[in-house]
């Protein structure tokens, strides 16, 4: 155990030093410049804000339902179709084929209410991700899961920072410092879509197999680690200096301790006492209040409300009945109604026309290739080093390469902070789509050509 721990610490330290060296080198070569002033278009006259919002919701829900069903029949997760629905409704297709309808439905200055609703959906979704986090499963597979998940974070993270070092002039928007862009590119390369991955395993009957349990544990640790890194990156971006980032980190650590050491035991005691009364409405009200307060706290701390929502889910009582009741009441509304609005907002920000010329498409291809090499390749090598067979290591790499919704959350956060330009945002959305679309075919290839994928746990 001791040689393993020493080897692991060496890999983590070497990765951190390498990333730090790349960031320092990039900061010397690319000094910060002044940011461009944002431009806002006026809302078209002739419609009320409420009528426009309701029409936007109807169109988004119908498109998400139709394309989600279509992609499910094609053997892909429905979430892929919902993401594509957002692209279809954006300037890349609807705005190109029918500009007047796009301007009527989705005028840029009319998107603020839609954006707020979509953010509420993402908060509830992140709460559900935290709620579904099985700490017991992580402990059971701790050794393999920690090595694979952290390798699948550090390797693509370092590759993302390295890509930014070599292509900063092509990637950076005016006024964005190298460190902020490099850190966000690293995070964006490192994310795994835990919920999409779990759905793929469930649909293919792999969730309760040995490989399924291993991948779920890896993805869960990957999620927690990536969100902690994202919180640090956002703190650095918002604070602007190490002293401010250090204060944010201390406040975040204190908040995590309060949630896990005070709120979680208090909630467990309260839920146990009220379970016999069967007052589910009060349970849900309290849960929603805790979710919103936690999200507000982390937003004020400076690491974004998403982290607080995720931690609120983790802090819920471990009793299965309580978590199942909460999930049952929140999941359908969040995933069927609110999340498609988030996909639509992402699609409206994605403009394929901004990727102009062979050089831009080559850069986009390089982003996709580096993302796949870092995530799939890094996970494969780490899994092999921990004793997994070639077949299992390939399956782990293919599944960990799934990005989907979690990637879009990170990208939209970078866009809102002004770190990712619309052009780079579009390239990264394409990367998220391609890497998620690859998962099903890669698993099918593995199931056809490789043996032992579905061994019982």
Give the per-residue pLDDT at 139.
64
Degrees, nearest 5: CA angle 153-130-457: 75
Task: Say which residues have a Cβ less than 8 Å from residue 43's Cβ, sequence separation at least 6.
Answer: 49, 107, 109, 110
pTM for the structure as a whole: 0.79
Q: What is the model's pLDDT at position 41?
A: 44
Is 115 part of any domain?
Answer: no
Cα gap 453→357, rounded to integer Å: 42
Q: How far apart are CA 335 and CA 326, in angstroms?
A: 14
Question: What pLDDT was estimated at residue 331?
Answer: 85
Is position 420 within any domain?
A: yes
How far, in whole angstroms, is CA 432 from its chain's centroid? Answer: 10
- Among residues 117, 86, 130, 129, the alpha carbon closest in space to that of 338 is found at 117
Q: Does residue 297 belong to any structural domain of this protein?
A: yes
pLDDT of 95 reads 85
Q: Which long-range contacts (CB under 8 A, 24 or more apart) does 11-19 make?
A: 11/150, 11/151, 11/154, 12/150, 12/154, 15/154, 15/155, 15/157, 15/158, 16/154, 18/158, 19/154, 19/157, 19/158, 19/161, 19/186
Domain assignment of residue 419, given as a range: 127-333+357-449
Instruction: Say what the pLDDT of residue 359 is.
Output: 92
Asked if the structure places residue 29 within a domain, the reply is no
pLDDT of residue 240: 62
The total domain count for the chain is 1
Identify whether 65 is part of a domain: no
Mean pLDDT of successive 10-residue segments in the chain (457 residues)?
A: 66 77 81 57 59 89 91 83 86 86 82 87 86 68 76 91 93 88 91 77 72 78 78 73 75 89 87 66 82 92 83 83 83 84 84 88 95 92 85 87 84 89 93 89 73 47
27 in any annotated domain: no
**Torsion on CA atoms 202, 203, 206, 211, rounded to nearest 10:** -80
What was the pLDDT predicted at 2? 64
Q: What is the pLDDT of residue 43?
A: 46
**346, 413 in Cβ contact below 8 A?**
no
Q: How many residues does the chain have?
A: 457
Q: How far apart are CA 20 and CA 121, in angstroms?
A: 35
C-alpha distance from residue 435 to each of 60, 75, 131, 278 (Å): 24, 15, 26, 44
From 229, 130, 98, 184, select the one nearest 410 (Cα to Cα): 184
Give the pLDDT score at 424. Answer: 94
Between CA 426 and CA 353 the distance in angstroms is 9
Q: In the numeric block, which tokens belong to residue 177? A: 């410092």
- Could you tell me the CATH number of the domain that includes residue 194? 1.20.1530.20
């Amino acid at each position: 155990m001791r040689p393993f721990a020493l080897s692991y610490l060496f890999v983590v330290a070497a990765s951190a030093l390498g990333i730090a060296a790349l960031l320092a080198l990039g900061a010397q070569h690319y000094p910060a410049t002044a940011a461009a002033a944002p431009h806002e278009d006026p809302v078209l006259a002739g419609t009320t804000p409420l009528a426009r919002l309701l029409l936007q919701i109807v169109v988004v829900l119908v498109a998400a339902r139709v394309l989600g069903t279509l992609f499910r029949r094609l053997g892909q997760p429905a979430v892929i179709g919902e993401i594509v629905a957002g692209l279809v409704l954006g300037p890349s297709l609807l705005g190109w084929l029918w500009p007047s309808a796009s301007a009527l439905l989705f005028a840029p200055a009319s998107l603020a209410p839609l954006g707020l609703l979509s953010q509420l959906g993402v908060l509830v979704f992140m709460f559900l991700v935290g709620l579904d986090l099985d700490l017991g499963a992580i402990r059971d597979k701790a050794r393999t899961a920690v090595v694979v998940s952290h390798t699948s974070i550090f390797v693509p993270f370092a590759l993302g920072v390295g890509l930014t070092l070599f292509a900063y002039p092509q990637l950076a928007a005016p006024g964005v410092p190298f460190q902020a862009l490099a850190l966000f590119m690293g995070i964006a390369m490192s994310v795994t879509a835990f919920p999409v991955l779990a759905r793929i395993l469930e649909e293919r009957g792999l969730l309760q197999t040995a490989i399924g349990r291993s991948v779920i544990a890896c993805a869960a640790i990957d999620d927690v680690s990536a969100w902690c890194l994202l919180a640090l990156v956002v703190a650095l971006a918002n604070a602007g200096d190490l002293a401010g980032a250090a204060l944010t980190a201390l406040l975040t650590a204190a908040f995590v301790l309060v949630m896990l050491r005070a709120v979680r035991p208090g909630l467990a005691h309260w839920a146990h006492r009220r379970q016999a009364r069967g007052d589910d409405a009060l349970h849900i009200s309290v849960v929603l209040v805790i979710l919103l307060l936690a999200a507000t706290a982390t937003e004020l701390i400076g690491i974004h409300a998403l982290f607080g929502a995720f931690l609120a889910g983790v802090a819920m009582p471990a009793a299965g009945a309580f978590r199942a009741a909460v999930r049952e009441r929140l999941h359908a509304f969040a995933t069927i109604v609110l999340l498609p609005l988030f996909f639509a907002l992402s699609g409206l920000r994605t403009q394929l026309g901004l990727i102009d010329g062979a050089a831009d498409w080559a850069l986009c291809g390089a982003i996709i290739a580096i993302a796949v090499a870092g995530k799939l390749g890094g996970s494969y090598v780490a899994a092999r080093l921990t004793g997994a067979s070639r077949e299992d290591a390939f399956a782990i790499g293919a599944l960990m390469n799934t990005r989907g919704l979690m990637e879009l959350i990170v990208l939209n956060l970078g866009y809102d902070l002004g770190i990712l330009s619309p052009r780079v945002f579009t390239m990264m959305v394409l990367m998220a789509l391609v890497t998620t679309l690859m998962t099903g075919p890669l698993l099918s290839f593995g199931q056809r050509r490789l043996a032992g994928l579905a061994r019982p746990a």
